[in-house]
Amino acid sequence: MEIAALLHDIGRKEEMNSKGSFCHAEKGAELARKILKKYKIDNQTTENIVHSIKSHRYRNNHIPETLEAKVLYDADKLDAAGAIGIGRAFLFAGRVGAKLHNDLRVDVENTKAYTPEDTAFREFMVKLRKIKNKVLTKEGKKIARDRHKFMENYFKRFWEEVKGNK
């Protein structure tokens, strides 16, 4: 499990450089397989790790089937939620040159990723607000509900300040 956790985002840099044109989880599984082969990790362990890495992202079609894969999947989702998730969303938006926020009239769900419209609020609307319904484990669901509530309250306050109401 530790190896999968350490390697699960190994394909992220290439995905970022390609502006999201491929899935970092699938690339990461491919790269991890090569690393594990080099260190002569047994086949069963290798397959478990590769499956966990390949299925840790909910935007692809690979479903976590093992307990280890489900735990990694949930941990990855929870890392993208709450205060840390919002911070990461603003960091990503800055990296792609996005604005602090979209015009209030913009339907953010019809904007594009990796563009100046890819704000932290867009990330919340397109991805982060859906995390609580994607988490698989009982404990993960509990944590997700709490983090979801925080994000909702944060963005409610954010827009009140943008509008000059606070």
Q: What tens digit of pLDDT does each residue of 57-75 get?
A: 866 688 999 999 999 999 9
Q: Within 10 Å of residue 90's Cβ, how many Cβ atoms? A: 16
- For 107-164, the pLDDT digits (tens) are 888 888 888 889 999 999 999 999 999 999 999 999 999 999 999 999 999 999 999 9
pLDDT above 90 as % of the chain: 67
d(CA 118, CA 149): 22
Asked if 18 and 89 count as a contact pair (C-beta separation under 8 A), the reply is no
pLDDT for position 121: 94
How far is residue 44's CA from residue 133's CA, in Å, rounded to a whole number?
A: 31
Give me the half-sphere count of Cα atoms (radius 13 Å) on the Cβ side of residue 150. Answer: 15
How far apart, in whole angstroms, are the C-alpha atoms of residue 122 and residue 38? 41
In the chain, the domains with their CATH numbers are: 1-63 (no CATH), 80-166 (1.20.58.1910)
